[in-house]
Structure 1
């Protein structure tokens, strides 16, 4: 942790000084010298931190020295952040003065600012100078403390080193030997693994076939490999069998020597990699070869390439098992099969626990302890605890507080931890602030890491992308588990941290991360907490002792001016106090079930705020503060309506478009009225960094095509989801035509994947841009005044279409299919026309005037062959009271499910065997007619 803190502090010193010079804002006289001295001291300390972090495990004095360094670094970080905030506010004030320079009133204020008088302006100047002097005093004071710490380091005689990955715990060498009687669980996986080893290799199969076992440290990868290696059928199947414990780093020559030594049963006299691999090739040529590479960390495919090429000469059916904690290792080594080891079942865990914990105990004593044992996880710790009171004491405490656990259970995790870079260690350790079994949202974690300052932007790479990479790395290295992924299974949305990993994170962040509730007495340790999650129960008085946690940075409820993250949840959220402006360090603010009618103007003074998330709990919320454009560092503005439909039209103030740092804007409400205080659609023009989802609400009759075009949606190439909501139609024909012009002007980015259009009042929907959406996968259309559906069959990537409430549609015909020759000719020179080539799900609901659905398909006309919806899996028709028939092309679709709800005419005509439409749907495995 110390290395990350010091490195970040040095960077902040340099950037703050540079920005201050750029803005022509100087520190109080003499402080620049203090900052240069501080930077020099920190560079000196940084050079020995690697050795210090290694030695803190065994040397208490070094550990205390590091704790003092951490504390002062945190305090200095707060002070520099105060100064940085002063710079930001000065820059905002300067911009506002320049913007309003032509206003006589503003000009008068400027004169007042530069010629102080006993007015409020003079008071502001005095306050500003006082704050800067206070900051300067703090810098000098902390610089003196760091100077003492720097001098104190000499007494420990630290070694200078360039190695940035201290290996505190060395993993013992593994062998192929195992006592099968001591092993529990994994039987089915072991059988599957043996089956893969014995399976006959095909001619196309790569040789040797690589199988990877991936999972967190201590989960049983090596044991599983040992069981498979020693299986009698496996032993008899292979001519040559080799076990090599690789560990870290991956030494090519060492690995090659061990392979050759195992084959020849003597130490080779070769030293060069070339010679070693040549001899290995000769020995394994044409033979069935089985190699286990245990504990591989290497992620560089170039290091593995020579071995891969040298072993190609093995006989078909040769196998390599790789055990690793990193899924990337399995990938770079070219694994054909990857097994991700999950946690043992409760039954298997109990078998392991009871064998160790109840060793040499009489049956009566075992009976007394079993109920507690089922709630525990550590058999080796309990083996020498004799009484029920001792067992109960351990159950009631955190596992990481026991020294004997630290050295045994956490040894495998220590290896994984110290293999991480310094920023990754910070990100991992921060997770200790959450309670056990907490379900992490990946986005939530990314935003919080950013708020803590763990993520530093790089050239041409966004902070969010770097943080997301960090999350993926921690997930791939098995620090997280129990993953919930998004719909296309490409990204992790949510996950958990295993209890033992959580305990280890607490061990790595002792005295920094705490998670408590208000009915627990706050001890003195919490006063130095850096990250604190405090859960306040309803009708529970706020504990006054929490005021002592001055540096806490992650409470659910906490009064502290040094907060970086604040999440508020509860009945008290009917109003946010004006005093929120005092949280000047705040980067992340989450308001859950917020029931107020708006936010106080003082929230606009939080110039460091990066993420503002509001989960709205009632329809009282109506507007945003007028000064919200001052939040120039805001990157994520999220409005969540808590999964309920609220009739809201939230007022966005004029000037919102100046928040050009925004990356997330999931909801945006516009006004076309001549109101100087309300935001126009055109203010989206410069928000070109937006990504993800954008929901635009309030596309009413006052919005015109010019304003829509000014929004420049097509330049927001990071958006993958766009939701367009028009206002209710009042029946005027001119408005119908106007909506069509507005929709055409709202040209979305070409990479859009999801589009929803609601309350659209135009008579047709065929904007110029629609057929250019080649990546569009999902299309939802609702509350439409259309008379004919657009030619959606032309969209090549469309997978899901939902059409809901289109009361003017009476007929759906070939225009919906978008029939048009593709120019693609088959061997018989016929042109194939494919409509909806990738559509999987189609849904129509509440088309109450719909009578006919016609189409073509399966027919051939002259030189044309028609293929309609060749991948359709699910068709749903609901509340279509007048629909009489289905199109003929359904006969040739691979439909698996048909749902027809409250469509009485169609239901009668689709009855099994007797209905006129039954022949068109008889091939569908599952039909629901209700």
Structure 2
């Protein structure tokens, strides 16, 4: 609860800091109230970290935090209302006709009644917040600044002993680690090997197996085992290392004496040090300790076990061993040992079959297997086993040493800004394949990416990718696949146990709703719907302030009755997913969702027109209209959507955008527009912040010259399956030109050569990919002048027979793939280009299998649609 309050206060403080000094706050007469509200927010924020530390053991504090969250949500909605009115005024001033401005002048929003009502609401919120702020004193909360002092739950220290007969399924892993230990690296005296994996996966057990192996005993003169956990105090660790080395320590020794003794003990000895359960992400602390450990003889090793790849990176790991889960067979063997007395499983074949099904829920995590097996030990009633099988793990009672509490340690260790982003993922089903750009836009729409964490060279999307990378590094996401190297698009999944953790920490904030869901609470703000019929579930009556409405299953739309009910009931929606629905006409009432930031109408095959009133959604950041094959055109006032950052569109119209600015737009995908013959008309000097442009399956498009030349911020251009687009005749040397980083051209049969305007990217282009262009005959003579080119891919361009003179001087190239260009491949085998690493890259390209090439093309198409 404190995590939610912390983010809400941070967001509110950001808005208040801006709103207080806006001219309309003075004109409307509530500047002082906003200032007072800002002060109260600051007071509350200072004690929230302490509240987070104490909330687990104090029921009254949790109730107080729940009440605080309710008020903060109301305050957020109020500030959103103020922002919306300010944006509306800006839109009218910028784009409105004389008639529109006169009508706006006499509208109710600009009469005295509106500021009066708004001031009254601000005062009411401030008084409620003042009252609850005063109540905080009863909890003796202290002021804590920053994350560094957040208390972590104490954990039992580990030890180095394990009986090999009790360990199942780690023989191969043990051999792999021992093989690393036995091969010294002559460049260093001491090497670091990190074992990384999910909590409960068996990293410590594997380290114990290695530590006690006979070959290790013979190889290393000195072995030491230290359980590090959260306290990476260098002085403490020196003492623990010396103790493990069986040194007698005088309690009066200073840190200087301790470090001298440690270096003396390690000098000229080949040692093995295991640092178990490391969480430290402060590189300076590690360097301070490392400098005391490098005096050992050649071949000394340090094994680190950690849940975080970031920790492994910080500790200058020479080799990272990513530990995988156990096989189903090994998990079942472990389960039998935990759930049955020896030999008892033979007497209960039905229980054994249920146990096999239970084990599948554990997805290879030994601690989860032991947790569920121990729950069933000595139980012989089938219904008890079926209860465990049919319930989510997060619903089952567990001890502190069991799987969910163990995983929650990783959650507790996270920075607060990541906790709500992680909890939000509980809305999606198990085994869901997340797309990075999709998840980031959902986070953005709900304000989960804090603007205070953005520097002047970053955008919200950039910070979103940092959030995802951090969750990946902490093992909260897995099975990452970066499908196209030149694009920052990832797919990834959550382990089932991590999904259970997300559900457990998101209770009261996020919920999956179905017709049988009767225990939903009114505090839920983010809902996903599963297994819905046309009937609107009665539990919706409990929900008061919903911000997110999405379906949970791919390609299964919300029923129309439910979608319309959500539009009418939830006026503070930020996210609404109506993809794959069958609206013929979008309800006009959607324009009342003034706070909406994310609207997904993808694959609404029947919709023909959007009401122009949708353009009143001035805060909308993401509008998805891909696959709307019947859509006649975009609304005429679409340029009024001044907050729009991402647009995916399919339309039957001949021009995409006309006579507007759209200067907030960063990401534009034009997809399956068969009649489109011009992208932008009358928009010179507009789209000044567009980063990424994808043009896919636009059969009538013949030229980009009028569209590209003004896109000076364009970094990524992807052109796919446009049969009449040749890129010829686009040589306006006087025009402004984009500075591209990534250019992908796929299946353009009329492309013969690259356009001259691409020379404007001579200092910036990093990735160039040309695939399936059957008439492409020549790369430009200026190709060798591309100073930043990292990746060159030329696939299935059979008429391309040579590379420009001087291509061998492209020393920045790291990856080259040439396939399906017979004559060019022959030439390449006869010439040397770049470094030996580059030559190996060429050699690899010759060996690419056809199936791999086909898969590569599929991946590109998949992400550009």
> What TM-score do you get using the length of structure 1 for normalisation?
0.78
Q: Distance in 1 between matches of 2:589 and 2:506?
A: 31
Structure 1 residues 465 and 186: alpha-carbon distance in aligned structure 2, compared to 1, 3 A threshold: same
Cα deviation for residue 435 of structure 1 reads 1.9
1:249 maps to which residue? 231
Matched, 1:452 2:446: yes
2:211 maps to which residue? 229
2:68 maps to which residue? 69
Q: Deviations over 1:630-686 (max 9, x none)?
A: 1111111123x7xxxxx9556323234x1211211122899999x9xx973562644
Cα deviation for residue 544 of structure 1 reads 4.7
SS at match of 2:520: helix
Matched, 1:659 2:662: yes
1:632–1:659 Cα contact (<8 Å) kept: yes
Q: Distance in 1 between matches of 2:44 and 2:402?
A: 31
Cα deviation for residue 493 of structure 1 reads 1.1
Q: Distance in 2 between matches of 1:697 and 1:397?
A: 46
Structure 1 residues 577 and 413: alpha-carbon distance in aligned structure 2, compared to 1, 3 A threshold: same
Q: Distance in 2 between matches of 1:837 and 1:226?
A: 40
Q: How does 1:539-558 map to 2 (within 5 A)?
A: 540-556=534-550, 557=558, 558=563
Structure 1 residues 581 and 151: alpha-carbon distance in aligned structure 2, compared to 1, 3 A threshold: same
Cα deviation for residue 726 of structure 1 reads 7.6
1:92 maps to which residue? 91
1:153 maps to which residue? 136
Q: Deviations over 1:322-354 (max 9, x none)?
A: 011111221222211101122222222222222
2:691 maps to which residue? 691
Q: How does 1:50-61 map to 2 (within 5 A)?
A: 50-61=49-60
Structure 1 residues 598 and 54: alpha-carbon distance in aligned structure 2, compared to 1, 3 A threshold: same
1:297 maps to which residue? 279
Structure 1 residues 599 and 782: alpha-carbon distance in aligned structure 2, compared to 1, 3 A threshold: farther
Q: Distance in 2 between matches of 1:728 and 1:693?
A: 15
1:624–1:650 Cα contact (<8 Å) kept: no
In the alignment, which of 843, 847, 857 is matched to residue 820 of structure 2? Answer: 843
Q: Higher relative contact order by CA 8 Å / sep ≥ 6: 1 or 2?
A: 2
Q: Deviations over 1:416-435 (max 9, x none)?
A: 22222211111111112222
In the alignment, which of 370, 379, 393 is matched to residue 373 of structure 2? Answer: 379
1:531–1:555 Cα contact (<8 Å) kept: yes
1:483–1:492 Cα contact (<8 Å) kept: no
Structure 1 residues 500 and 769: alpha-carbon distance in aligned structure 2, compared to 1, 3 A threshold: closer
Q: Deviations over 1:831-865 (max 9, x none)?
A: xx99x9965223369xxxxxx99997888xxxxx8
Cα deviation for residue 744 of structure 1 reads 10
1:103 maps to which residue? none
Q: Distance in 2 between matches of 1:655 and 1:624?
A: 12
2:345–2:352 Cα contact (<8 Å) kept: no
Matched, 1:186 2:170: yes
Cα deviation for residue 866 of structure 1 reads 8.1
1:651–1:669 Cα contact (<8 Å) kept: no
Matched, 1:443 2:426: no
In the alignment, which of 880, 883, 896 is matched to residue 847 of structure 2? Answer: 896
SS at match of 1:592: coil
Q: Distance in 2 between matches of 1:70 and 1:716?
A: 40
Matched, 1:601 2:552: no
1:51–1:159 Cα contact (<8 Å) kept: yes
Q: How does 1:332-371 map to 2 (within 5 A)?
A: 332-359=314-341, 362-363=344-345, 366-371=348-353
Q: Distance in 1 between matches of 2:471 and 2:276?
A: 21
Q: Deviations over 1:533-553 (max 9, x none)?
A: 01354x533335425423222
1:906 maps to which residue? none
1:749 maps to which residue? 739
Q: How does 1:551-570 map to 2 (within 5 A)?
A: 551-556=545-550, 557=558, 558=563, 559=566, 560-570=570-580
Cα deviation for residue 135 of structure 1 reads 3.9
Q: Distance in 2 between matches of 1:113 and 1:470?
A: 41
Q: Distance in 1 between matches of 2:804 and 2:615?
A: 54
Q: How does 1:188-207 map to 2 (within 5 A)?
A: 188-197=172-181, 199-204=182-187, 206-207=188-189
SS at match of 2:227: strand
Structure 1 residues 240 and 700: alpha-carbon distance in aligned structure 2, compared to 1, 3 A threshold: same
2:20–2:35 Cα contact (<8 Å) kept: no
Structure 1 residues 41 and 606: alpha-carbon distance in aligned structure 2, compared to 1, 3 A threshold: same
Matched, 1:590 2:589: no
Q: Distance in 2 between matches of 1:128 and 1:406?
A: 60
1:914 maps to which residue? none
2:153 maps to which residue? 169
Q: Deviations over 1:778-818 (max 9, x none)?
A: 1246476x8x64557955756322466x9xxxxx68xx525
Q: Distance in 2 between matches of 1:450 and 1:894?
A: 40
Cα deviation for residue 521 of structure 1 reads 2.5
SS at match of 1:160: coil
Q: How does 1:100-119 map to 2 (within 5 A)?
A: 100=97, 106=98, 110=101, 114=105
2:427–2:528 Cα contact (<8 Å) kept: yes
Structure 1 residues 321 and 720: alpha-carbon distance in aligned structure 2, compared to 1, 3 A threshold: farther
Q: Distance in 1 between matches of 2:623 and 2:704?
A: 30
> What TM-score do you get using the length of structure 2 for normalisation?
0.83
SS at match of 1:527: coil
Cα deviation for residue 393 of structure 1 reads 3.0
Q: How does 1:729-878 map to 2 (within 5 A)?
A: 739=729, 741=731, 747-755=737-745, 758=748, 760=750, 767=756, 769=758, 773=762, 775-780=766-771, 782=773, 789-791=778-780, 794=783, 799-802=792-795, 816-818=801-803, 820=805, 839-843=816-820
Cα deviation for residue 474 of structure 1 reads 0.9
In the alignment, which of 616, 621, 626 is matched to residue 627 of structure 2? Answer: 616
Q: Distance in 2 between matches of 1:306 and 1:692?
A: 44
2:715–2:740 Cα contact (<8 Å) kept: no
2:124 maps to which residue? 141
Structure 1 residues 264 and 85: alpha-carbon distance in aligned structure 2, compared to 1, 3 A threshold: same
Matched, 1:414 2:365: no
Structure 1 residues 465 and 24: alpha-carbon distance in aligned structure 2, compared to 1, 3 A threshold: same
Structure 1 residues 268 and 554: alpha-carbon distance in aligned structure 2, compared to 1, 3 A threshold: same
The CA RMSD over aligned residues, in Å, is 4.1
SS at match of 1:171: coil
Q: Distance in 2 between matches of 1:573 and 1:437?
A: 29
In the alignment, which of 181, 184, 197 is matched to residue 215 of structure 1? Answer: 197
1:43 maps to which residue? 42
Structure 1 residues 346 and 481: alpha-carbon distance in aligned structure 2, compared to 1, 3 A threshold: same
- Larger mean CA deviation between 521-530 and 767-776 belongs to 767-776
- Larger mean CA deviation between 426-435 and 744-753 belongs to 744-753
Q: Distance in 2 between matches of 1:162 and 1:866?
A: 58
Matched, 1:276 2:258: yes
1:926 maps to which residue? none
Q: Distance in 2 between matches of 1:195 and 1:703?
A: 59
Structure 1 residues 698 and 368: alpha-carbon distance in aligned structure 2, compared to 1, 3 A threshold: closer
1:611–1:634 Cα contact (<8 Å) kept: yes
In the alignment, which of 608, 627, 646 is matched to residue 637 of structure 2? Answer: 627
In the alignment, which of 271, 293, 310 is matched to residue 311 of structure 1? Answer: 293
Structure 1: give runs of 5+ residues left out of the alignment: 101-105, 115-121, 642-646, 730-735, 807-811, 825-832, 846-851, 860-864, 876-891, 901-930
Matched, 1:425 2:414: no
Q: Distance in 2 between matches of 1:668 and 1:768?
A: 24
SS at match of 2:476: coil
1:479–1:501 Cα contact (<8 Å) kept: yes
Cα deviation for residue 477 of structure 1 reads 0.6
Structure 1 residues 725 and 507: alpha-carbon distance in aligned structure 2, compared to 1, 3 A threshold: same
How many residue pairs get matched? 810
Q: Deviations over 1:39-62 (max 9, x none)?
A: 333333323222322222122222
Cα deviation for residue 468 of structure 1 reads 1.1
